[in-house]
Amino acid sequence: MHALWPVSPPLVPIAGSREGFPVRRIYCVGRNYVDHIREMREGDERDDPFFFQKPADAVVPDGAKVAYPQATGDFQFEGELVVAIGARCRDIRPEDSPKAIFGYAAGIDLTRRDLQKVSVAQARPWEPGKSFDGSAPCGPILPRERSSGLDAGTLVLDVNGDVRQRTRLDLMIWSVPEIVARLSDLYTLEPGDLIFTGTPAGVAAIHPGDCVTVRITGLPSLTITIQEQL
Ligand code: MN
């Protein structure tokens, strides 16, 4: 018995399948590429990366039209590799992480940069800048057993066809196995969890009409279009 209509989880398409991946939680890694830490001129680059979260219903699929969000004048893209968790795990070692990973996708950590900067300056949580409606575009998930070459792969983000971010994935400060292991030391990871693994340099503002595409070696691409504010 529910007093209100129960909310069903958002589904992310799975490449080559008619089934969807039901999203439980969205975790994100902050400051996982040295070149992005340097462009943000924020803190000491020797500090470890860290985690924050977005609400599960912030996820939007490939092809989505994303409304320019409220309360910002500096709406920015961050192209990221996304890891989808497929098995419960807790306190695991990096070498045991593959069995917890369902698959991989291309994602964008959309950010209200002006609000994030206020949070940073005032030593407050990042939620206003990071955890808002439509802030977690995620492309189709490619199951792990069908993905290969990610370790030597690249991520490229373009806006209206102009390349704005390009990185090798092996330049991450914490590798994917380390991210899964460290996150599992803080939370019990469950099937349905997504992890956005951090962005390289090149982040910048986007505006209504812009088309943003993320391509990662071997994975389905992700494209979104920014619409006028609702
Ligand atoms: Mn990010």
CATH number at residue 175: 3.90.850.10
The pTM assigned to this predicted structure is 0.97
pLDDT in tens, 150-175: 989 999 999 999 999 999 999 999 99
Number of domains within the chain: 1
Has residue 10 been placed in a domain? no
In terms of Cα–Cα distance, which of 155, 180, 17 is closest to 86? 180
* 163, β-bridge pairs: 158
Give residue 2 CA to ligand 1 midpoint distance, Å: 36
Burial of 29 by CB count in 10 Å (0-12 exposed, 13-18 middle, 19+ buried)? buried
Give residue 79 CA to ligand 1 midpoint distance, Å: 7
pLDDT in tens, 53-104: 999 999 999 999 999 999 999 999 999 999 999 999 999 999 999 999 999 9
Give residue 78 CA to ligand 1 midpoint distance, Å: 6
Give residue 198 CA to ligand 1 midpoint distance, Å: 4
Has residue 15 been placed in a domain? no
Confidence (pLDDT) at 44: 82
5-11: long-range contacts (C-beta < 8 A, 24 or more apart)?
7/57, 9/56, 9/192, 10/56, 10/57, 10/59
Distance CA 141, CA 138 (A): 8
Cβ pair 98, 68 in contact under 8 A? no
Give residue 109 CA to ligand 1 midpoint distance, Å: 5
- Domain of 196 in residue numbering reads as 21-227
Characterize the bridge pairing of strands 59-60 and 136-137.
Answer: parallel
